[in-house]
Amino acid sequence: MSVHPRLARPPVTRFAPSPTGYLHLGHVVNAIYVWGVARALGGTVLLRIEDHDRIRSRRNYDAALLEDLDWLGFAADEGRHPPVRQSERTGMYESALAGLRRAHHVYACACSRKDIGGERYPGTCRARALADAPGRGLRVQIDSGVELFVDALLGPQRQDPAGEYGDLRAADVAELFM
């Protein structure tokens, strides 16, 4: 299948169930969409097991999810043989974080949700030079500027990440890009 003409490169969609229970109808609806978009646009599907919740994740649910996806015919292009599990990629995340630290793109943040009081983080801790400590988060500095891109479904888009969200929590960034 050829790549959709509005896309610069083949898209990679991802299906990322948490092994905290069995596959349910919501997963299946999501899988139909994820595989459908990839196939319609000439892209590929990444399957990733979101097992970073060490308390609620169970290996028997993990095995059952994979078995059910196979049975339903959802064959991932990447992440099935062998399965990609978040819990096995800690080194990758630590390495990415170390790179951000070296480039001074991250800083410790002591603000609670109440301190922030809204969707956008105002950069309160940017210049505080706080040390890492239990209870503190990490934020990634987001440069100001408008991003223009083409969304395959919505068409041309314009976003101002710094203006709309401010500096992101490192965990949110990991969810977006990893």
Give least dist CB 129 to Zn ion, A: 12
To Zn ion, the closest distance from the beta carbon of 178 in angstroms equals 23
89 within 8 A of 49, measured Cβ to Cβ: no
Instruction: Say which residues have a Cβ less than 8 Å from residue 167's Cβ, sequence separation at least 6.
Output: 107, 109, 121, 123, 126, 139, 140, 141, 142
Q: Spell out the SS3 assignment of 58-122.
A: CHHHHHHHHHHHHHHCCCCCECECCEEEHHHCHHHHHHHHHHHHHCCCEEEECCCHHHHCCCCEC
Between 44 and 124, whose beta carbon lies closer to Zn ion? 124
Q: Where do contacts with Zn ion occur on this chain (CB under 5 A)? A: 109, 111, 124-125
Assigned token pair, 47: 């399957």
The nearer residue to Zn ion, 7 or 111, going by C-beta atoms, is 111
Which residue number, 87 or 124, has a Cβ lying nearer to Zn ion? 124
Q: What's the min distance (Å) between Cβ of 124 and Zn ion? A: 4
Identity of the residue, 97 or 111, whose beta carbon is nearer to Zn ion in the bound complex: 111
Cα gap 134→35, rounded to integer Å? 40
CB of 111: closest distance to Zn ion in angstroms? 3
